Amino acid sequence: MNEKGNRAPLVAFLVANVVSICGTRVSAIAIPWFVLITTGSPIKTGLVAMAEMAPLVVVKAIGGPLIDRVGARRVSVVADTASTAVVGLVPLLHTLGLLHFPTLLVLVAIAGALRGPGDAAKDTLIPDIARAAKVPLERVTGLESTTERLAGFFAYALAGGLITLAGAVNALWIDAASFGICAVLIARWIPKPVQQDTPRAEEEHSYGRRLLEGWRFLRTDKLMLPLVLMIAVTNLLDAATSGVLLPVWIKDHGYGPGHTSLILTSFGVTATAFALLASAIGDRIPRKLVFTVAFLIAGAPRFIAMATDAPVWALMAVYAVGGIGAGFINPVLGALFIERIPSHLLGRVRSLSGAVCWTGVPLGGVIAGAAVTGIGLVPALLAGGAIYLVATMSPVLIGRHEQWKATPDQTGPAETAADPDQVAVGAS
């Protein structure tokens, strides 16, 4: 094999990641807008959003054993192919005059259920891509994070322009096509996985037993489980900030949506740039120190700046500095998790950990709204900042320093289960 490795799978994976994110952003705007303009009901619009997210989180949590048994590549291709058909049915049935609201709810729920294992399967492909390209895991997770942030940075503007120019129905056709493109890229260029030896006893286990094995590994890993719970807390607070706290602060201070865009753009630019840097040097940095400092500057300072009535330019600067830290988080976390999880458990543990990380996201806006109503914006910001600070200090207390270091083989996960006596064996 070429000593430099085959980079085609890595390029295909990154392109598929960009296409997937852009398609998801289009869907996130087009479907609610489509419901709103066709029904005129905000309640129905909210129901559609819930109909997609609930199955996504649930199926992502329970779909791991399927990924481990069938293979991440196959699950990703099948899920994206099926998503092409399901999402395409929405504009098709609408054009034929056959789309009723209950039917739309069912289609959106199926689409969400397909996205759960499809997204988890793509994460599980990373070790095979790293092996094919002969690059460290941090390189792949760093580039994945870079393309994710870069695509997210442009995708909402692209989605808004596309819906304005082509209409919500035509935008959904394009959204459906994006899933098909991802399926082709993964099927054509991602290598078939290296055959792993699955313990004979596990082959005889039921689906529920295999799922329980993944949960048991996550529950007993004294480094992973606390990190997953920490991310669940910070994700909830991030959702609370972007969904309620920042918009309320902007409105109360007499600013407009343009200022919100500038603040978030300042974060997005630095987060993208430093995710790219992390992809280049991620295998040479002290993980625990970088991860801790990254969260410290990316989290609590935003709450403090808003609570102290900082001018908008200062808040932009705080968000920009926070983006520097955020750029390093996913590359470090992704590589750390992949290295710690045995190959035969990778799909189910990644799925479970991702689902746990997402659990607080739907609650963030509700909790923030109740807090602002009950105690006021400034106390809510101070409370949120304090909780964020406590959560982000937890890495200092989690695990011995050597547990954060890269394993000798940085192109794949461990081949055997972690020994609790040797390793202190806890996510968009």
Which of the listed CATH numbers 3.40.47.10, 1.20.1250.20, 3.40.710.10, 3.10.129.10 matches domain 8-195? 1.20.1250.20
User: Taking Cα atoms as reference points, which of 191, 123, 108, 86 lies closest to residue 355?
Assistant: 123
pLDDT at 64: 84
Q: What's the mean pLDDT in 24-44?
A: 75
**Dihedral pair phi/psi, residue 205, rounded to 5°:** -75, 150
Better-scored residue on pLDDT, 286 or 27: 286
pLDDT at 388: 93
Q: Is the pLDDT of residue 412 over 70?
A: no
pLDDT at 234: 92
User: Taking Cα atoms as reference points, which of 108, 345, 145 lies closest to residue 337?
Assistant: 345
User: Taking Cα atoms as reference points, which of 282, 281, 318, 273 lies closest to residue 298?
Assistant: 318
> CA-to-CA distance for 35 and 411, rounded, in angstroms?
45
**Dihedral pair phi/psi, residue 305, rounded to 5°:** -60, -45
Better-scored residue on pLDDT, 5 or 143: 143
Q: Where in the chain is the domain with CATH 1.20.1250.20?
A: 8-195, 210-404
pLDDT at 424: 28
Instruction: Quote the percentage of the chain above a pLDDT of 70.
Output: 85
User: Taking Cα atoms as reference points, which of 349, 347, 412 lies closest to residue 76?
Assistant: 347
The answer for residues whose C-beta is within 8 angstroms of residue 27's C-beta and 6 or more apart is 87, 111, 172, 175
| Strand ranges for 100-180 from DSSP E | none
The 3-class secondary structure across 248-306, one letter per residue, is: HHHHHCCCCHHHHHHHHHHHHHHHHHHHHHHHHHHHHCCHHHHHHHHHHHHCHHHHHHH
Better-scored residue on pLDDT, 76 or 423: 76
Residue 285: both structure tokens together: 């940095």
Query: Which residue matches tokens 């905000």?
Result: 42
Q: What is the pLDDT of residues 253-312, one digit of tens each?
A: 888 767 776 788 788 889 888 888 888 887 787 888 888 899 999 999 999 999 998 999
Phi-psi region of 107 (alpha: psi -120 to 50; beta: other; left: phi over 0): alpha
Q: Is the pLDDT of residue 425 over 70?
A: no
pLDDT at 176: 92
> CA-to-CA distance for 355 and 61, rounded, in angstroms?
5
Using the Cα atoms of residue 185, residue 188, residue 194 and residue 199 in order, give the sign of their dihedral. positive
pLDDT at 401: 56
> CA-to-CA distance for 390 and 91, rounded, in angstroms?
47
Helices 224-240, 346-358: crossing angle, 10 deg rounding: 40
Q: What is the pLDDT of residues 92-130, one digit of tens each?
A: 999 999 999 899 999 999 998 998 888 888 888 888 898
By CB atoms closer than 10 A (0-12, 13-18, 19+), residue 282 is: buried
Q: 210-404, which class in CATH?
A: mainly alpha
Q: What is the pLDDT of residues 166-212, one digit of tens each?
A: 777 888 898 899 999 999 999 999 887 665 555 555 555 678 888 88
Q: Is the pLDDT of residue 78 over 90?
A: yes
Q: What is the pLDDT of residues 313-366, one digit of tens each?
A: 999 999 999 999 988 888 888 888 888 888 888 888 888 888 888 787 767 777
> CA-to-CA distance for 37 and 32, rounded, in angstroms?
9
Q: Is the pLDDT of residue 419 over 80?
A: no
Q: How far is CA 96 from the centre of its chain?
A: 35
Give this prediction's pTM.
0.70
Q: Is the distance from CB of 141 to CB of 132 less than 8 angstroms?
A: no
Q: Picking from 8-22, 168-182, 280-294, 381-395, which range would have the lowest pLDDT averaged per residue? A: 280-294
Q: Residue 296 is which amino acid? A: L
State the chain's mean pLDDT as an integer. 81
pLDDT at 199: 55
